[in-house]
Chain A
């Protein structure tokens, strides 16, 4: 069953308090090589049949209306993933 993956990230200019907290925790594990962390979201839209261009367009529409808030977030990826991929 194919899935459409949608990635949403906080806009670069928006402070990401959660990412900051994670960045603060990493050195406590001895992982000191990272300059920063940004936390985003990944959605997987499952498709029962075939992914048509119309369906992909619907996914893009979902990504920009419901799955992300354009004031604070960017949609960074809308991509079809086949079952055997990844």
Chain B
């Protein structure tokens, strides 16, 4: 397994990675668009969780045989037109859309921040994102509740479990019509909800949702920035942590690896 050398401290892959060595056999693709920022962090999160990260280029037509795909955060195409609007028509997105809607065994896809916006523009997830109601770019550690722990991307959490991960965006306000919101709630497709405070005006405090099949999940906050001691938030929903010691986001990545290896 190839891993990046951490900047400080000792690199420790997820403990069960060696015990369940086959996790390394799970290939998770991370898409890079022009303007993507968090692709390296997402790839690192996959490696820290014990999997193999594969770099995917938006202009390619080939998913390189990956078992799952992460569309990371950033400002693809400079957020021109609308966040995610132009990325949606990238050649690789056509492949991802087809693979993610292929019925049972469909490709697991996670969209983080701008990736979530891309998934809504691609109609893989309902609703859309508009500017934060404060109109400010927000960057803070955000507490979330995992509402649905049955998706491929959240199975390592318990339903109702809270996590703290960074939130950093300008267009983070999730909107959808009332019927769609009722449908999401009724079908248990609200995966993450903001707790204590709604940072951006998102309808019904929704931070993340899934498609009906449960293989496609999108969320605005950034679990990939809370995976490694020394580089995470200063707080955790699990109790006191050292400075930058929050790793509550790692479960997203271990969830999908374990599901795919099983």
Contact = CB atoms under 8 A, between A and B. Distances in A.
A66 B81 contact: yes
If over half of B's interface residues share one DSSP class (helix, strand or loop), that class is named, otherwise mixed; here it is: loop
Contacts of B177: 13, 71
A37 to B, nearest CB: 13
A21 B135 CA distance: 8
B132 interface: yes
A21 B130 CA distance: 14
A1 to B, nearest CB: 23
A72 B130 contact: yes
Interface in B146-178: 173, 175-177
Contacts of B135: 17-18, 21
B175 A72 contact: yes
A61 to B, nearest CB: 13
Interface stretch (B12-20, B23-31, B120-128): B120-128
Contact of B173 (A10, A17, A71): A17
A67 B131 contact: no
Contacts of A72: 128, 130, 175
A69 B201 contact: no
Contact of A15 (B126, B127, B130): B130
A48 interface: no
A17 B120 CA distance: 20
Nearest to A21: B135
Q: Give the interface centre of B89, B130, B173 by most chain A CB atoms within 10 Å.
A: B130
Given A15-B201, A17-B130, A17-B131, A69 B121 contact: yes
How many residues of A sit at the interface, in one of the four size bands?
A: 10 to 19
A14 interface: yes
Given A13-B177, A17-B173, A71 B127 contact: yes
A15 B176 contact: no
A21 B136 CA distance: 11
Nearest to B127: A71
Given A17-B133, A17-B173, A18-B135, A69 B82 contact: yes
27 contacts: A10-B130, A14-B175, A15-B133, A15-B175, A15-B201, A16-B130, A17-B131, A17-B133, A17-B135, A17-B201, A18-B131, A18-B135, A21-B135, A66-B81, A66-B85, A66-B86, A66-B89, A69-B82, A69-B85, A69-B128, A71-B126, A71-B127, A71-B176, A71-B177, A72-B128, A72-B130, A72-B175
Interface of A: 10, 13-18, 21, 66-67, 69, 71-72
Q: Which 5 A-B pairs have the closest CB atoms?
A: A71-B128, A17-B131, A72-B128, A17-B135, A21-B135
